[in-house]
Amino acid sequence: MRANIPADLARRSYVGGHPPLKTDVQKWQGILHKQGWGAPHWPVEYGGMGWDPIRLHIYMEELYNADGLDYGWQGLNMVAPVIIAFGSAAQKQRFLPRMLSGDDFWCQGFSEPNAGSDLANLRTRAELDGDEWVINGQKIWTSDARESNWGFFLVRTDPNVKPQKGISFLLAPMDTPGITIRPIESIEGGMGLNEVFLENVRVPRDNLVGEAGMGWTYAKYLLEKERTASAFLYFNKRELAKAKEIASRETIDGISLLEAPEFARKVARVEADLNALEWSVLRILYGERTVQNNDAVVSALKIGGSEMQQRVTALQLDALGARALREYHGTGPEVMAGNANWPAHIPGVAARYLFSRASTIYGGTREVQKNIIAKLAFGL
Amino acid sequence: MDFNLSEEQQMLRDGAARFVRENYGFEARRALAKSALGFSRQHWQTYAELGWLALGLPEDAGGLGCPFSDSTVLLEELGRGLALEPFVSTAVLCARILDRCDNVEARSRLLSEVAAGGTILALAHDEPGQRFKIDRAHVSARPVADGFWLDGDKVLAIDGQAADRFIVSATVVGERLPSLFVISREAAGLALEAYRLIDGSGAVDLRLHDVAAVRLTESGNTVTILEEAFDAETVARIAEAIGAMEAVMAMTAEYIKTRVQFGQPIGKFQALQHRMSEMFVEVEKSRSSLFRALAYLDAEPANRKAAVSSAKLAVADATKFVGAQGIQLHGGIGMTEEYSIGHYFKKLIAFEKIHGDSDWHLTRLVTP
């Protein structure tokens, strides 16, 4: 990883914010693909490495350590497993190779303005008209919609059954007439989030994955495939290391902040919980047969991992003190290299901290996770 | 002690609330924050006309000589609207320094200008690579025939993008402790680099090369003067933060009453009700901290410092919690630049860091 990632790409990957430059994403995916690592978690027959969970764990840790882009999430990690498990032979043939090579990027259309925590309440509809689905509705918080050429959408195809039963999983090219994308600026200045409006969007009947009405089940499958992802372990470990690096560059009364007892204790407190988080992930990866409810365990992991993102980035903020408050945009020279007054370890810290507030919201809020635990672990 | 607002204070609060209502709607603020100046000179004139800039200034220099608790009444309302004018920098931090400085001529001239809205001031104290530290300045001051020449670098002079003058800490050649000087923005040899902070305010770095300066304080009393001024600033920012936190609570309560998920307003969920209650507890704690800090602001230095640090610690915990929960209870919409709650969060996070973060105050509290 370290030998093959271009330095400028690594730096942009680390400080460049959301979304990353598409040229960087494609270049990096190309580098990985050439090595055979375009999608190491996929089965070998589809171009993956077929690695076991521990090998993948080591791979991901090294990818983050090298500041490699962990991009293409929605495609390689979310829609691909669904296509592999439930898609037609034609869909597999059409979509998987182009995902692997970085020719196609995918975005996810699940959330809607009135279907966030209550996702089953989604109202975007798709109706069959001859050989085409006609989609009408609106999606929101669609990461990287503008950079993607394909989207996968949860849509309501049957309004007359129980909410979860009437949902289907549809694929649509993002340049289909009737799709309008509006970027949403997030509080750290990123432009990765979007609203996606769908107005009489027509896609071929074949763009349905699996069976109509099974979308909810597929979405759950997709989330279960990535049970340990919600710990954000690799991000958290890297960011703790970066927090230490920042602290080692800052001094207080001539002593490195990292060696100042008060700060060292703060770091140690966070690290203690992060160590536990890592072993929570390992327990799952090694297939522990826990007596606890599995979904409750995953929710606990999500809570721990999302709060950890906020804590490690807060450590970085605290290590910088007031100098963390400077606002940076883009990937100009002052962001890429820093300067004498504002060295390179400063840009990006505030943005990562601010964006980490979203971690306890996306992918099921902390409050929803707590409801799941209360219900599944205790029958409350 | 009377914790209730006097009639004058109520009028002041109502006037400030009206100003915020009329001038600091979300879109209006957003436009100002994105403008080159970062605030409104017209608003600054309004501040002057309404007597706000003169409020806490001494009567012998064009001020109204009102107690500091009047300023904090005003600041709560300005904080509620996230007002962007450099009130704290100019009329609290720099004005306190000027009021106590040794240069009688500069004191009365500059304070009169502040009261009339004729000058904007910023303090340039922080230096590259250094954490907040009051009794140190590496910028050097060399005596010359008609004053001093300053040389060196300053960073993070808050509100400096608009300052007409800077108060600069520098160490006179041969002395150990810093002194304070005033320089003009137009001074030869001064280079400024401006940038924005996450809370919407601006700041500058100063590069000083033989910049002509007028001395304000002697090195013997500078640290005392700076400590007092920073403490007053901290109390001022606490008041702003309380206004901001109350705004966060109000808009979050309103949001969860109207946001429907799972067939009911999410405010019906007890988990969220309790979160609101926890925010309330934090803000109550903060208000008590403000009162206590105000009570000690004119006490002898050791007691004042302890009270201000104690208040900052308590309120900094509150701002982090209330700001973060404001976003959390809003969900995704809370993460967007197009919605106001995130701007409050950034203001509340910046509060904790400016001129002495929690770690700094904790250290001061336990090692007086």
Number of domains within chain B:
3
Nearest Cα to A209, choosing from A172, A246, A176, A173?
A: A172
DSSP B89-133: IIIIIIHHHHHH-S-HHHHHHHHHHHHHT---EEEE---TT----
The residue among B161 and A20 whose pLDDT is bigger is: B161
Distance from CA of A201 to the nearest CA of B (A): 26
- Prior bond to B86 cis, omega within 30? no
Q: Please give the pLDDT value at position B368.
A: 65
Residue B252 parent element (H or E): helix B219-258
Closest chain A residue by Cα to residue B338: A185
Contact A362 B332 (CB under 8 A): yes
> Do residues B171 and B219 make contact, with C-beta atoms less than 8 angstroms apart?
yes
Contact B336 A370 (CB under 8 A): no
Dist. CA A185–CA B339, nearest whole Å = 10
Distance from CA of A145 to the nearest CA of B (A): 16
> Do residues B286 and B318 make contact, with C-beta atoms less than 8 angstroms apart?
yes
Residues A125 and A208 occupy one common structural domain: yes
Residue A226 predicted with pLDDT over 80: no
Whether B363 and chain A come into contact, CB under 8 Å, resolves to yes
B280 inside domain: yes
Residues B268 and B207 occupy one common structural domain: no
Average per-residue pLDDT for chain A: 94
Distances (CA, A) of A143 to A72, A76, A107, A195, A358: 10, 14, 6, 9, 12
B 319-348 residues with CB < 8 A to A: 324, 327-328, 331-332, 334-338, 342-343, 345-346
Residues B56 and B143 occupy one common structural domain: no
Nearest Cα to A307, choosing from A318, A299, A317, A297?
A: A299
B 267-306 residues with CB < 8 A to A: 269, 271-272
Residue A225 predicted with pLDDT over 90: no
Give percent above pLDDT 70 in chain A: 100
Number of domains within chain A:
3
Contact A357 B345 (CB under 8 A): yes
B247 inside domain: yes
Which site among A118, A335, A341 would you substitute to test the B interface, given the most B Cβ atoms closer than 10 Å to its Cβ? A341
Domain that holds residue A92: 7-101
Distance from CA of A184 to the nearest CA of B (A): 7
Dist. CA A305–CA B311, nearest whole Å = 32
Give percent above pLDDT 90 in chain A: 87
Q: Which of A13-27, A34-48, A109-123, B240-254 has the lowest mean pLDDT?
A: A13-27
CB contacts of A189 in chain B (<8 Å) are 337
Dist. CA B195–CA A181, nearest whole Å = 31
Q: Please give the pLDDT value at position A47.
A: 94
Tokens of A378: 């205790």
B1 inside domain: no
Nearest Cα to B214, choosing from B171, B167, B177, B178?
A: B167
Domain that holds residue B176: 121-220
Closest chain A residue by Cα to residue B343: A187
Give percent above pLDDT 90 in chain B: 98
For the domain that residue A121 is a member of, what is the CATH number? 2.40.110.10
Residues A62 and A171 occupy one common structural domain: no
Residues A233 and A364 occupy one common structural domain: yes
Whether B191 and chain A come into contact, CB under 8 Å, resolves to no
Last residue of a domain, one of A213, A236, A259: A213
Residues B61 and B175 occupy one common structural domain: no
Closest chain A residue by Cα to residue B152: A341
Residues A169 and A196 occupy one common structural domain: yes
ipTM score for this prediction: 0.96
Which site among B359, B363, B366 would you substitute to test the A interface, given the most A Cβ atoms closer than 10 Å to its Cβ? B359
Overall average pLDDT of the A3-17 stretch: 92
Residues B111 and B157 occupy one common structural domain: no
The verdict on whether A226 is a catalytic residue reads yes
Overall average pLDDT of the A190-215 stretch: 96
CB pairs under 8 A between A and B: 125
A364 inside domain: yes
Nearest Cα to B311, choosing from B72, B30, B44?
A: B72
Contact B335 A341 (CB under 8 A): no
Residues A19 and A147 occupy one common structural domain: no
A110 inside domain: yes
Residues A96 and A111 occupy one common structural domain: no
A220 inside domain: no
Residues A231 and A209 occupy one common structural domain: no
Residues A198 and A236 occupy one common structural domain: no
Contact A321 B357 (CB under 8 A): yes
Last residue of a domain, one of B201, B220, B239: B220
Q: Please give the pLDDT value at position A231.
A: 93
For the domain that residue B232 is a member of, what is the CATH number? 1.20.140.10
Helix, strand, coil shares of chain B, percent, nearest 5, are 55, 15, 25
Residue A3 predicted with pLDDT over 70: yes
Residue A199 predicted with pLDDT over 80: yes
For the domain that residue B37 is a member of, what is the CATH number? 1.10.540.10
pLDDT tens for each residue of A271-302: 999 999 999 999 999 999 888 998 999 999 99
Contact A323 B156 (CB under 8 A): yes
Stretches where chain B sits below pLDDT 50 are: none
Last residue of a domain, one of A153, A178, A213: A213
Q: Please give the pLDDT value at position A253.
A: 82
A218 inside domain: no
Q: Please give the pLDDT value at position B308.
A: 98
Q: Please give the pLDDT value at position B189.
A: 98
Tokens of A52: 């076991």
For the domain that residue A92 is a member of, what is the CATH number? 1.10.540.10
Dist. CA A9–CA A69, nearest whole Å = 9
> Do residues B300 and B306 make contact, with C-beta atoms less than 8 angstroms apart?
no
Last residue of a domain, one of B116, B140, B160: B116
Last residue of a domain, one of B83, B116, B149: B116
Q: Please give the pLDDT value at position B138.
A: 97
Residues A233 and A370 occupy one common structural domain: yes
Residues A185 and A244 occupy one common structural domain: no
Dist. CA A9–CA A21, nearest whole Å = 9
B2 inside domain: no
Residues B277 and B356 occupy one common structural domain: yes
Nearest Cα to B216, choosing from B151, B270, B166?
A: B166
Q: Please give the pLDDT value at position A144.
A: 92
Nearest Cα to B87, choosing from B127, B126, B59, B46?
A: B46
CB contacts of B262 in chain A (<8 Å) are 117-118, 121
Contact B156 A357 (CB under 8 A): no
Residues A370 and A322 occupy one common structural domain: yes
